[in-house]
Chain A
């Protein structure tokens, strides 16, 4: 295999790697589903307390989402470095 085709293959593998890196978002998706699902279960049982827990909901959302964003950033790094 000559150098040029090896480089072309390496460039193609970069895209596959970036795609694989975004698989980390699966976890964040599941986490967000559990988070909001449980929030609504609690909110429908006791609607008067729902408003007070909204800030906590957003904190949880931010922390969960951050892990998904990490995999997105890694994908960008793989793609452009």
Chain B
């Protein structure tokens, strides 16, 4: 039986130059992960270019889809971040579309780019650096007031500060691991059940019943994975909004 983890193996598709910068090995080859991300971004671009090419007041089918996605994220930034939400809309929208297209591409082709910690870690690091940057630029040293909510009695404040600092530091880790874990877990489960079908069908007539059972399970799991692919992209966007709203509205809650 094939190893269910084989699908996450990185392979070089187009070899590129590799060099060392200060002891750090940098390989510029195009791997299947990079290729999957390029295809995902390309398809997203193509979709939005095509759907908005002949935009009209009475939208066609494609335009309704594009406007629906746009409106979804617009509502999100507006309702969570509030008045200043519009400024962060481009970032959240890009994040949402990238994660969504990578997840969905993983359901159709051989590789899921978001199942690599390197990719999700980069997205999480970008988000948290933006959060810290916005906080420091907007509030200066007042950024640190975020760790002490108003109305906390003085004898509890030291405990609250420690808890808030820890919860802030854990945020990028959870952001990275949630997407990674969901994608890896879902795809492993699907491949394990796919392996069951072949292993059971080889046993003979009695095994066919078990094989049919795992086949129906894999159909149900595939539809669940499509839901998860959308939900994780949505959750990533929502959490990015929540973290941004924490630093944008420091004094307001």
**Chain A interface residues toward B at CB < 8 A:** 55, 58-59, 61-63, 65-66, 69-70, 72-73, 76
Residues of chain B within 8 A (CB-CB) of A70 are 174, 177
Question: Across the interface, which residues of B come within 8 angstroms of A69, CB to CB?
Answer: 174, 177-178, 180-182, 185
Nearest CB of B to A39, in Å: 15
Please count the residue pairs between chain A and chain B whose beta carbons lie under 8 angstroms apart in the complex. 38
1/0 contact string of B210-246 vs chain A (CB within 8 Å): 0000000000000000000001001100110010000
Q: Is the Cβ of A58 less than 8 Å from the Cβ of B231?
A: yes
Provide the residues of chain B in CB contact with A58, threshold 8 Å: 231, 234-235, 238
Is the contact region of chain B dominated by helix, strand, or loop, or is it mixed? Answer: helix
Given A58-B231, A58-B234, are A65 and B80 also a contact pair (CB < 8 Å)?
Answer: no
CB atoms of A55 and B238 under 8 A apart: yes
Question: How many Å lie between the Cα of A17 and that of B253 in the bound state?
Answer: 44
* Contacts known (A69-B182, A72-B185); A59 close to B177, Cβ less than 8 A: no
A55: B residues at CB distance < 8 A: 76, 79-80, 238
Set A62, A66, A73, A76: member contacting B238, Cβ < 8 A: A62
Q: How many residues of B contact A (CB 8 A)?
A: 17
Chain B residues with Cβ under 8 A from A72's Cβ? 181, 185
B235: A residues at CB distance < 8 A? 58-59, 61-62
Contact with A along B74-108 (1 / 0, CB 8 A): 00100110000000000000000000000000000
Q: What are the residues of chain B within 8 A of A66 when measuring CB–CB? A: 174, 177-178
A76 contact set on B, CB distance < 8 A:
184
Cβ contacts under 8 Å, B180 to chain A: 69, 73
CA distance A23 to B212 in the complex (A): 29
7 intermolecular pairs with C-beta atoms under 8 Å apart: A55-B79, A59-B242, A61-B235, A62-B238, A69-B177, A69-B182, A70-B177
List A contacts of B76 (CB < 8 A).
55
- Complex alpha-carbon distance, A72 and B185, angstroms: 8
Residues of B within 8 A of A65 (CB): 178, 182
Provide the bound-state CA to CA distance between A29 and B231, in Å. Answer: 17
Query: Which residues of chain A are within 8 angstroms of B182 by Cβ–Cβ distance?
Result: 65, 69
Cα distance, A61 to B182, chains bound together (Å): 13
Q: What is the CA–CA distance of A40 and B185 in the complex, to the nearest angstrom?
A: 27
Chain A residues with CB under 8 Å of B174's CB are 63, 66, 69-70
Expressed in whole angstroms, the Cα–Cα distance for A72 and B231 within the complex equals 19
How far, in angstroms, from A68 to B132 measured CA to CA in the complex? Answer: 27
Closest residue of A by beta carbon distance from B80? A55
Which partner residue on chain A sits nearest B174 by CB separation? A66
Cα of A63 to Cα of B238 in the assembled complex, Å: 12
A3 CB, nearest partner CB in chain B, Å? 27
- With A55-B79, A58-B231 as contacts: A73 and B177 at CB distance below 8 Å: yes
